Amino acid sequence: MEGVTLIGLLNQVTDQFSSKRALSVSGKFDLTYSRIHELVERAASRLVAAGINPGDVVALTFPNTVEFVIMFLAVIRARATAAPLNAAYTPDEFEFYLSDSESKLLLTPGEGNAAAQAAASKLNISHATATLLDADSELTLSLAHSESDTNAVSKLTNDPSDVALFLHTSGTTSRPKGVPLTQNNLAASVSNIKSVYKLTESDSTVIVLPLFHVHGMLAGLLSSFAAGAAVTLPAAGRFSASTFWQDMIKYNATWYTAVPTIHQIVLDRHVAKPEPVYPKLRFIRSCSASLAPVILSRLEEAFGAPVLEAYAMTEATHLMSSNPLPEDGPHKPGSVGRPVGQEIAILDEIGVPQEGGAKGEVCIRGPNVTKGYKNNPEANKSAFLFGWFHTGDTGYFDSDGYLHLVGRIKELINRGGEKISPIEVDAVLLSHPDIAQAVAFGVPDDKYGEEINCAIIPREGSNIDEEEVLRFCKKNLAAFKVPKRVFITNELPKTASGKIQRRIVSEHFLAQVSAAKVPKFGA
């Protein structure tokens, strides 16, 4: 994949499938590949005419809308760097991300974003809005002095080394780190995703996850575009359990990708209010957090499609490994599959690869992997060693070459010298029929150094109590892995992509205990 750009791949698809539906806004309008290409080229020319130069960073904060898709592609077509941001950030958070990315321009929907604009104003960053009313309209882009030379972008040739996307890590165990991803990183990743799932122009998906996150952007949107497939955006600009299957059926969806939290919501909806008919899916994909085997089984039983768990990170431009489609091999519940388009090794502390079955840090290298964090020499020094990127995850390969994750190194619970994977405890908790969501975490302990606690959300109508949870754990876990305390709550903090943040969960409940308050979020 050396020397390939994402824009180059998309141009090839446009030439081949120019009149095919590429993007739909549910219930509103459709855009073909040729129409998207026109809109992107014009918007990119406007950016260039307004003074956006190669290498400039443009921040975008939108819901999952057509304007976001067009402007994201326009920014990288102009050889600038797109920095998508969560529209729900606070002013202080926007100020951090805008400053850290060194953004030159902030783009928002027509209605704006007060918190983002306040931060941009404080940092003297220009602001513009983008609006597309329907398929036949021109994109309204409120850039000053951008009408001249509407073909300015035609003079630019995208380069594989162009930094196209700038994201931040989720910051679940440390301060968020800036990750620059090149055109070649993006091209390599979407090609890997397209290959392992055999995506073609016959496929169609509905976007479930936020497009400001690498999972939704790469796996849902860009890999579909690279295959000539069709993508649908929910009318509300975000996931809705009540309209999800309607959209999947209306737009002939053949697959979807989501995080475990969304899968659980979809399952709960299925149990409470099943649809009269479900589409015939080629597969369901799960990524960004560990999917408990019991949830995987329920998904397969409910929707009649194989559920393929995958492993990904922002630093790898998303995909690193995946369980294969049924025709390409077994999918193993509890594993994250086989490497896809890159090398993965289990290394010891001095960088020596370990034999199959040996546990150690999961390390990767390949054309989809970033060259390093931005302006963070300390993080680069520890994460990029021996020619490999060190993920911070512990895992092992089984005899069939499938990767199994034990957990984040920083999240492993050290109870009196016994290393306990919270993922294993999560899986047992979620296998209880009365538990909807669960997370295990370590807390300080005078005797053992660390002790295990857990928090659960009961299923609707359930009266499960701490005693029952502990009884179930004692039956299904070794004694030293049984949580010492169970918190029953109604909400768990998650990242914008749906990951449960163990560190924040732990801090929350420890604070509640210290303050002798009822351990419920929002209390």
CATH number for the domain spanning 437: value is 3.30.300.30
Check whether residue 388 and residue 467 sit in a common domain.
no
Contacts of 69-72 spanning 24+ positions with Cβ under 8 A:
69/23, 69/36, 69/211, 69/221, 69/233, 70/36, 70/39, 70/40, 70/43, 70/130, 70/132, 70/139, 71/43, 71/107, 71/130, 71/141, 72/211, 72/217
Distance of CA 413 to the CA centre of its chain: 25
Distances in Å between the alpha carbon of 386 and those of 141, 269, 319, 345, 351?
Answer: 46, 47, 21, 12, 6
167/308 same-domain check: yes
Contacts of 272 by beta carbon, 8 Å cutoff, 6+ apart: 460
Residue 62 placed within a domain:
yes
DSSP letter (8 states) at residue 459: P
The torsion angles phi and psi of 165, rounded to 5 degrees, stand at -135, 130
CA–CA gap between residue 324 and residue 319 (Å, rounded): 13
What SS3 state is found at 395? Answer: strand
CA 514/CA 199 separation, integer angstroms: 52
Residue 406: inside a domain: no
- Split into its structural domains, the chain has a count of 2
Do 386 and 424 share a domain, yes or no? Answer: no
Q: Taking a C-beta distance cutoff of 8 angstroms, is the pair 90, 115 a contact? A: yes
| Average pLDDT per consecutive 10 residues, the chain (523 residues; last block may be shorter) | 89 98 97 98 94 97 98 98 95 94 97 97 97 95 70 89 93 75 98 98 97 96 98 95 96 96 92 94 94 92 97 96 97 93 89 85 96 92 90 93 89 84 91 93 87 93 94 92 93 75 81 59 41
Examine residue 400 and state whether it is found in any structural domain, yes or no: no
Which residues, 6+ apart, have CB-to-CB distance to 253 below 8 Å? 204, 205, 206, 232, 247, 279, 281
Last residue of a domain, one of 340, 360, 394: 394
- Return d(Cα 178, Cα 166) in angstroms, integer: 7
Residues 507 and 371 in one domain: no
Tell whether 519 is covered by a domain.
no
pLDDT of residue 522: 41
- Closest of 26, 44, 190, 202 to residue 130, by C-alpha: 44
Domain boundary among 394, 429, 452: 394
Q: At how many degrees (to 10) do helices 33-49 and 66-77 cross?
A: 60
- Predicted pLDDT at 241: 94
Residue with tokens 């560990």: 290
Best CA proximity match to 404, nearest among 503, 295, 319, 309: 309
Q: Does residue 343 lie in a domain region?
A: yes
Q: Is 232 helix (H, G, I), strand (E, B) or coil?
A: strand
The reply to whether 492 and 361 lie within a common domain is: no
- Beta bridge partners, 419, equal 414
Q: Which long-range contacts (CB under 8 A, 24 or more apart) does 172-177 make?
A: 172/408, 172/495, 172/499, 172/501, 172/502, 172/503, 172/504, 173/392, 173/408, 173/410, 173/411, 173/503, 176/97, 176/100, 177/373, 177/374, 177/376, 177/379
Q: Are residues 426 and 341 in the same domain?
A: no
521 assigned to some structural domain: no
Domain around 456:
412-514
Sorted by sequence, the CB contacts under 8 Å of residue 521 that are 6+ apart come out as 489, 490, 491, 492, 493, 508
The domain that contains 189 carries what CATH number? 3.40.50.12780
- Residue 520 maps to a domain: no
* Boundary residue ending a domain (342, 363, 394): 394
Has residue 203 been placed in a domain?
yes
Answer yes or no: do 140 and 209 share one domain.
Answer: yes
Note whether 171 and 116 are same-domain residues: yes
**How many helices, marked H, and strands, marked E, lie in the chain?**
15, 26
Q: Are residues 294 and 174 in the same domain?
A: yes
Q: So what's the pLDDT on residue 523?
A: 38
* Same-domain pairing of 456 and 359: no
Residue type (1 letter), 146? S
Residues 390, 416: one domain?
A: no
320 shares its domain with 421? no
Give CA separation, 397 vs 29, 292, 293, 359, 365, in Å: 46, 19, 18, 8, 16
The residue among 155, 143, 149, 95 whose CA lies nearest residue 119 is: 95
